[in-house]
Structure 1
C-alpha cells in the first residue's frame, strides 16, 4: 500500500517550487518574447561563446532532444547560429549571434525584475542560500 505523502517527497517539493518560480520568470520574460529556458540558453551561450550541442546540454542539465526543441525557435529567429565543427559534421557548434546578444540584453531587464520580485518575497539571503544549495545538488548529488 502506498503511504508516501507529498510533504516528505523531495522530488515533489523541488518540482512544485520549480514550477512556481518558473511562472514568475515566465510572466516577466514574456515581455521580451522569450521563455526562461530560452533566456538561460542565451545567457549560457553569452558566457561560453562557442559551445557544442553536447556541452550546452550538459551545462543546462537537459537531454539533447529537449535542447533541440528549445533551440529550434532561437535558430529560426536568428538568436543562435549552429554550424558543424571541423572535426565532425555531426557535432553542432552553437554561437550567440548579434541578434541573440541584443535579445539577451533586452530580456536581462525583465529577468532582473523577476529576480528582484522573487528575492523581495522570499528574502535576498534565503534566495542566495537556496541557489547555493540547488547548484550543490546539481554538482554533488546528480551522480547519486
Structure 2
C-alpha cells in the first residue's frame, strides 16, 4: 500500500504564471470559440466546420497541406474534420495529376451550406468585441501567420 502526502508547491514560485501568454490566449480562444458555437446553433455547422468551408470558398481548391497551413491546424486534426464534412457532402476531393496530392473543393451543397451559415457567423462576429475586451484584446485583432 502506498501512502501519499499532499504537497503544495510554493505559491510564490508560480506567481509569474498568472500572466502566462499561452494560458491567457488559450482561455481567450476558448471563450471566443464558445461564443461562435452559441451563434452557430441552428445552422447545422460547428464553428470549426464553417472556418474550413469559408476558407475553401475564399481560396478555391487546396491540398490538405495547404489547407492545414492556412488554418494553422495539424494535418491529423484537419483530416478528422475534413472527413466529417466530406461525409455530409459539403466538400469533395478534386482529381489531381499527382495521386499523392489530395485537393479538396467545395461542392454545390457545401457552397449553399456555407452561404446559409454566413448569417450566423456575421451575428457572432459583430458581437464578439466584449469577450475580446474581457481578455484585454482589441475588438478587431489582426493576428495572422506569415
**TM-score for the superposition, normalised by structure 2:** 0.82
Report Cα offsets for 1:67-120 as digits up to 9, x if no partner: 01111111011100113411x212101101111111111111001111112136
The aligned counterpart of 2:19 is: 8
Tell me, what secondary structure is at the counterpart of 2:94?
A: strand
Shift of 1:62: 0.7
The aligned counterpart of 1:58 is: 69
State whether residues 42 and 100 of structure 1, in contact with CA within 8 Å, keep that contact through their aligned partners in structure 2: yes
Shift of 1:33: 1.2
Q: Find out whether 1:103 has 2:108 as its counterpart.
A: no
Q: Find out whether 1:82 has 2:93 as its counterpart.
A: yes
- State the alpha-carbon separation in 2 of the partners of residues 67 and 55 from structure 1: 11
State whether residues 31 and 131 of structure 2, in contact with CA within 8 Å, keep that contact through their aligned partners in structure 1: no
In angstroms, what is the RMSD of aligned CA positions? 1.9
State whether residues 84 and 90 of structure 1, in contact with CA within 8 Å, keep that contact through their aligned partners in structure 2: no
Runs of 4+ off more than 3 Å:
120-123
State whether residues 32 and 110 of structure 1, in contact with CA within 8 Å, keep that contact through their aligned partners in structure 2: yes
State whether residues 90 and 113 of structure 2, in contact with CA within 8 Å, keep that contact through their aligned partners in structure 1: yes
State whether residues 32 and 132 of structure 2, in contact with CA within 8 Å, keep that contact through their aligned partners in structure 1: no
Tell me, what secondary structure is at the counterpart of 1:81?
A: strand
Which structure 2 residues correspond to residues 10-89 of structure 1 after superposition, within 5 A?
10-86=21-97, 88-89=98-99
Tell me, what secondary structure is at the counterpart of 1:31?
A: coil
**TM-score for the superposition, normalised by structure 1:** 0.83
State whether residues 26 and 36 of structure 1, in contact with CA within 8 Å, keep that contact through their aligned partners in structure 2: yes
- State the alpha-carbon separation in 2 of the partners of residues 64 and 22 from structure 1: 20
The aligned counterpart of 1:127 is: 139
- State the alpha-carbon separation in 2 of the partners of residues 81 and 72 from structure 1: 10
